[in-house]
Amino acid sequence: MSRLSRRRSAAVQRGAVTAELAVGLPILLAVTAALTWLVAVAVGQVRAVDAARETARALARGEDPAAAIALGEAVAPDGVAITTAVSGQRIVVRASGRMEGPGGFLGSLPGARLEAEAVAVPEPTGAGP
């Protein structure tokens, strides 16, 4: 193989690597952004669960319903509403809402539905021993 043909071969290979990088890098960035979005949805779901739990515990302690809901809303992610219901000896709290999609070049990804439910039993309100 002559010196000239080796140079041409090396130049072609460099060009191929550049083309592969030009195609692969945007794909890698899109996958990274999508995975970051999935982590954000998971964190939002955990916060919705925490909001329902905090509200149910506050109601079980006998706190004012408005104050208990405000406590849950402070923990909940934006767009999540908290509802309460009493069913016999059970306090049921639901936190539900929608988390908007990431937007930008990932605007085609849909938003995520966040839902959580917590159940508590009212604590006894008598004097201790």
User: What strand order describes the sheet that includes 112-120?
Assistant: 80-87, 90-99, 112-120
**Amino acid found at 110:** P
Candidates 112, 66, 116; CA nearest to 92 is: 116
pLDDT digits over 22-71, tens only?
A: 888 888 988 888 888 889 899 999 999 999 999 999 999 999 999 999 99
pLDDT digits over 60-101, tens only?
A: 999 999 999 999 999 999 999 999 999 889 999 999 999 887
For 44-60, b where at least 16 C-beta lie within 10 A, e where not — what string?
bbebbbbbbbbbbbbbb
Domain map of the chain by residue range? 1-120
**pLDDT higher than threshold 70 for residue 15:** no
pTM, whole model, 2 decimals? 0.75
